[in-house]
């Protein structure tokens, strides 16, 4: 947008800016939630905004006490974080998920790798600093090349609709490209094709997910979910929809027992479902009349995050909204974490990634001026807009053991 | 259709605890009618969705209590806007104080400038947004009321409780500052 600062045009441009700014980032509750808040206070005493409750004397006296409490609470939160990484078990009974094994210290958060305007880049989740994600190079004709005549590494390749996912140890990237599943070792730059053919169908984009012990991969092909050893052996079809429904975007649970995925219906609807790795215990987590997508697990396995696109125009007829939602694996306690209101008439894609330490969620959602990468607490607070203007795609948050 | 509405449509009753709380449908309708306009006004002044919601809640609660005497929309709307904008100014000013920032740290949406040279051509839009955020709460309020809500200068003065000349001055200074920061950036 160009802004004319001449006297007669500036008011007009300023009005346009205010209209967009007022609706740009909506951290406010919905009208229904506001009605509940008002209803809860009407009939009792008047609502007093939190900032009015601060009495100077109490604030001054409580200054040191608050600092000490904040420090203690912060320390306590850190101690609660534990990463659950059991071994993959395919013989687990559906009725009794594999017991979790809590090991060692939690993973730390590395950079978020996203596909940006010039290829995949690493984004620092705190500062927003952007850099190349590694020293991956490609010799024309080599295995790393997307095309024998090209010089771009295959995992940089754009327009192929591929996401990448980090191995649990943070050293390898798995992706789908050109009808196959690939694993790229970022330490040695070796790229290995795991499957000879796969990944012909995935909506809205293709996803490969790692088992928590790093020994298996899961991916979608032809509307079914498959698992395979990382060496390419034992390819197993674990869903059997037979074309009536199409499964895509698998996400392996942190306890290794289940795989969540997007299940696309025959119309414009989709669901989030999960199934045991042995192909039993299919369960719908979220049923929806719209195309929910991109399920990702929290590192402790207690919640799933997914995207809810609202294509319906708002009251002004301009645009819909995009929401990041979390839910318990049994489908209860659905919580809208983050909303970009008046963002878009329609959108396909978007994505989410839970930080390895479980304290943040990254999501890519559309706005009026393109897609942005947002990072926030799982409750939707402390939102930071990290990357904007290059339509970032496919966030993959690197774990640092 | 929002996520909650969709969930209700498919009969998942645990999804929307809010609906159970809002038993008074008249209240819900009243809030729905006023909320969108008010929260946008509050956000322009506060630069924060949660703070805006606090200001709006105060206004809606007072309006609901006095609804019998404020049925005329021509009276209700400016009356409600006045409460919300004054509360939003007060909250925004308290946030700017050192003590306010320490005692009530709150979630906020921050835009971090990308450190990559490939991203250094920030559009004028981002510059205007940053300049607008640097205005005082009082300046943002008069700009929002006059240019966004469409109130005249006289009406704006009544809403914020300031003399007309003061409001004219705030408007002029705010626009001059926004314009000069944009021109400085372009040069």
- The alpha-carbon gap from B119 to the nearest alpha carbon of chain A, in Å, equals 8
Chain A contacts of B119, Cβ < 8 Å? 130, 387, 389-390
Question: Which ipTM score applies to this complex?
Answer: 0.74
Q: Which one is predicted more confidently, A117 or A191?
A: A191
Of A318, A322, A269, A265, the closest CA to residue A291 belongs to A269
Compute φ and ψ for A250, nearest 5 degrees.
-70, 150
Out of B24, B35, B132, the one facing A31 most closely (by C-beta) is B35
| CA atoms of A180 and A196, how far apart (whole Å) | 6
Contact call for B43 and A290, based on CB within 8 A:
no
Q: Are B62 and B36 in contact (CB under 8 A)?
A: no
Out of B4, B42, B104, the one facing A32 most closely (by C-beta) is B4
Q: Which one is predicted more confidently, A293 or A317?
A: A293
CB of A391 within 8 Å of any CB in chain B?
no
Contact call for A22 and B41, based on CB within 8 A:
yes
Contact call for B44 and A21, based on CB within 8 A:
yes
How sure is the predictor about B123, in pLDDT bands with cuts at 50, 70 and 90? low
| CA atoms of A185 and A204, how far apart (whole Å) | 26
How sure is the predictor about A136, in pLDDT bands with cuts at 50, 70 and 90? low
Q: State the DSSP H helix or E strand holding residue A219, giving kind and residue range, or none if neither.
A: strand A216-221
Number of Cβ within 10 Å of residue B91's Cβ equals 28
pLDDT value, residue B54 = 86
Average pLDDT of chain A is 74
Question: If contacts are CB pairs under 8 Å, which of residues 120-179 in chain A contact chain B?
Answer: 121, 124, 127-131
Q: What are the helix and strand counts (H, E) for chain A?
A: 3, 24
CB of A284 within 8 Å of any CB in chain B?
no
pLDDT value, residue A354 = 93
Out of B23, B43, B58, the one facing A28 most closely (by C-beta) is B43
Q: Are B63 and B71 in contact (CB under 8 A)?
A: no
Out of B3, B15, B61, the one facing A47 most closely (by C-beta) is B61
The residue of chain B with its CA nearest to that of A290 is B6
Of A76, A84, A97, the closest CA to residue A299 belongs to A84
Task: Show the CA angle centred on residue A365, arms to residues A360 and A367, nearest 5°.
Answer: 130
Q: Are strands B110-111 and A224-229 parallel, antiparallel or unpaired?
A: unpaired
pLDDT average, residue stretch B48-74: 79
- Asked if residue A298 has pLDDT above 90, the reply is yes
**Strand, helix or coil for residue B5:** helix
Count of A-B CB contacts under 8 Å: 232
| Ramachandran assignment for A183, one of left (phi > 0), alpha (psi -120 to 50 degrees), beta (any other) | beta
Q: Which of A185-189, A321-325, B17-21, B182-186 has the lowest mean pLDDT?
A: B17-21
Q: What is the pLDDT of residues B6-59, one digit of tens each?
A: 433 333 333 333 333 344 677 788 888 888 889 889 988 988 777 888 888 888
pLDDT average, residue stretch A358-375: 82
């Amino acid at each position: 947008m160009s802004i004319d600062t001449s006297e007669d045009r500036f008011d007009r441009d300023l009005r346009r800016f205010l209209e967009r700014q007022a609706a740009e980032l909506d951290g406010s509750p919905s009208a229904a939630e506001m009605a509940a808040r008002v209803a809860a206070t009407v009939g009792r005493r008047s609502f007093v905004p939190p900032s009015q409750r601060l009495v100077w004397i109490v604030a001054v006296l409580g200054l040191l006490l608050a600092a000490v409490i904040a420090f203690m609470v912060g320390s306590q939160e850190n101690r609660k974080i534990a990463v659950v990484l059991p071994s993959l078990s395919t013989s687990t009974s559906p009725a009794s998920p594999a017991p979790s094994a809590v090991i060692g210290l939690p993973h730390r958060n590395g950079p978020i790798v996203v596909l940006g305007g010039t290829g995949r880049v690493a984004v620092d989740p705190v500062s927003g600093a952007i850099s190349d994600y590694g020293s991956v190079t490609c010799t024309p004709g080599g295995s790393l090349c997307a095309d024998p005549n090209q010089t771009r590494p295959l995992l940089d390749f754009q327009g192929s609709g591929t996401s990448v996912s980090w191995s649990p140890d943070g050293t390898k990237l798995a992706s789908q490209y050109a009808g196959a599943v690939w694993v790229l070792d970022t330490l040695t730059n070796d790229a290995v094709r795991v499957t000879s053919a796969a990944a012909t169908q995935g909506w809205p984009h293709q996803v490969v997910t790692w088992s928590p012990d790093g020994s298996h991969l899961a991916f979608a092909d032809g509307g079914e979910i498959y698992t395979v050893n990382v060496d390419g052996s034992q390819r197993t079809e674990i869903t059997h929809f037979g074309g009536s429904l199409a499964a895509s975007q698998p996400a392996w649970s942190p306890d290794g027992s289940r795989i969540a995925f997007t299940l696309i219906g025959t119309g414009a609807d989709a669901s989030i479902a999960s199934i045991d790795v042995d192909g039993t215990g299919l369960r719908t987590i979220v049923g929806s009349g719209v195309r929910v997508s991109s399920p990702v697990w929290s590192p402790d396995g207690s919640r799933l995050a997914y995207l809810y696109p609202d294509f319906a125009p708002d009251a002004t007829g301009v645009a819909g909204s995009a929401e990041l939602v979390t839910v318990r694996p049994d489908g209860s306690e659905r919580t809208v974490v983050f909303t970009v209101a008046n963002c878009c008439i329609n959108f396909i894609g978007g994505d989410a990634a839970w930080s390895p330490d479980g304290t943040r969620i990254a999501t890519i959602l559309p706005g009026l001026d393109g897609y942005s990468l947002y990072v926030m607490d799982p409750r939707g607070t402390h939102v930071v807009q990290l990357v904007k203007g290059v339509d970032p795609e496919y966030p993959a948050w690197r774990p640092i053991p | 259709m929002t996520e909650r509405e969709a969930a209700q449509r498919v009969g998942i009753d645990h999804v929307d605890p809010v609906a159970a709380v809002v038993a008074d449908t008249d209240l819900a309708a009243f809030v729905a009618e006023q909320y969108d306009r008010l929260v946008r006004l509050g956000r322009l002044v506060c630069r924060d969705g949660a703070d805006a919601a606090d200001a709006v809640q105060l206004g809606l609660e007072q309006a609901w209590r006095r609804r019998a005497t404020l049925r005329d929309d021509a009276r209700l709307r400016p009356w409600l806007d006045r409460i919300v904008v004054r509360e939003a100014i007060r909250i925004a000013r308290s946030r700017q104080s050192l003590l306010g920032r320490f005692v009530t740290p709150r979630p906020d949406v921050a835009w971090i400038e990308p450190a990559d040279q490939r991203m250094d051509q920030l559009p004028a839009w981002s510059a205007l947004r940053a300049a607008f955020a640097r205005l005082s709460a009082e300046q943002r309020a008069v700009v929002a009321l006059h240019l966004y809500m469409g109130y005249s200068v006289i009406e704006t003065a009544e809403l914020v409780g300031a003399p007309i000349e003061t409001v004219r001055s705030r408007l002029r200074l705010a626009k001059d500052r926004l314009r000069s920061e944009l021109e400085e950036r372009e040069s």
